[in-house]
């Protein structure tokens, strides 16, 4: 269905960046929208130190702004999953999943853009069968709530923050 002129959604002239090493996890709708953006850099930071990750994100965003003149849309797509039953789950692995899936979203939000899209999941809101690991589900629920809180907090500054909750 075509929207009347002036009401069509367009990202032409915008600069977007996507965090994460696997852009394939971006939903098809978001991928089609971002296809309108001629230069959509992918940020992939790989470091276990939280402060270093935050610095890498800031540095990458500064480079994008320097190269392209602006950063209009930031997609916080980085995330990891882990397998195993809750009773057998290693506490360090649980912590790592939350560090990437929740703290990584926070660091990305703090560093970037007028429009922020976080990649969440339906499992943030419902328990699935077969059930996915609790570490992953709880991290996505935390990231979704973080997104809602930041959206409310930053709305009066003109910053849009939304979650894309696709089926996982």
Which are the catalytic amino acids? 136
Give the residue from 142, 58, 153, 55 showing the smallest Cα distance to 101: 142
Give the residue from 77, 64, 97 showing the smallest Cα distance to 24: 77
For 107-128, letters b (16+ CB in 10 Å) and e give bbbebbbbbbbbbbbebbeeee
Alpha carbons 112 and 60: distance in angstroms, whole number:
10
Q: Which residue has the tokens 């394939």?
A: 24
Cα 124 to chain centroid, rounded: 14
Cβ atoms of 99 and 144 closer than 8 Å: no
């Amino acid at each position: 269905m075509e929207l009347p002129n002036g009401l069509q959604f367009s990202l032409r002239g915008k600069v977007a960046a996507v965090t994460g090493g696997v852009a394939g996890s971006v939903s098809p709708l978001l991928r089609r929208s971002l296809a309108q953006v001629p230069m959509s850099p992918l940020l992939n930071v790989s470091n276990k130190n939280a402060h270093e990750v935050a610095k890498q994100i800031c540095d990458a965003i500064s480079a994008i702004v320097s190269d392209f003149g602006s950063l209009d849309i930031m997609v916080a797509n980085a995330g990891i999953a882990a397998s195993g039953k809750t009773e057998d789950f290693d506490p360090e692995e649980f912590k790592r999943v939350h560090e990437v899936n929740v703290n990584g979203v926070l660091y990305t939000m703090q560093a970037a853009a007028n429009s922020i899209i976080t990649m969440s999941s339906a499992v943030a809101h419902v328990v699935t069968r077969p059930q996915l690991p609790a570490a992953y589900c709880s991290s996505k629920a935390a990231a979704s709530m973080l997104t809602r809180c930041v959206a409310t907090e930053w709305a009066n500054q003109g910053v849009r923050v939304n979650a894309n909750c696709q089926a996982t």
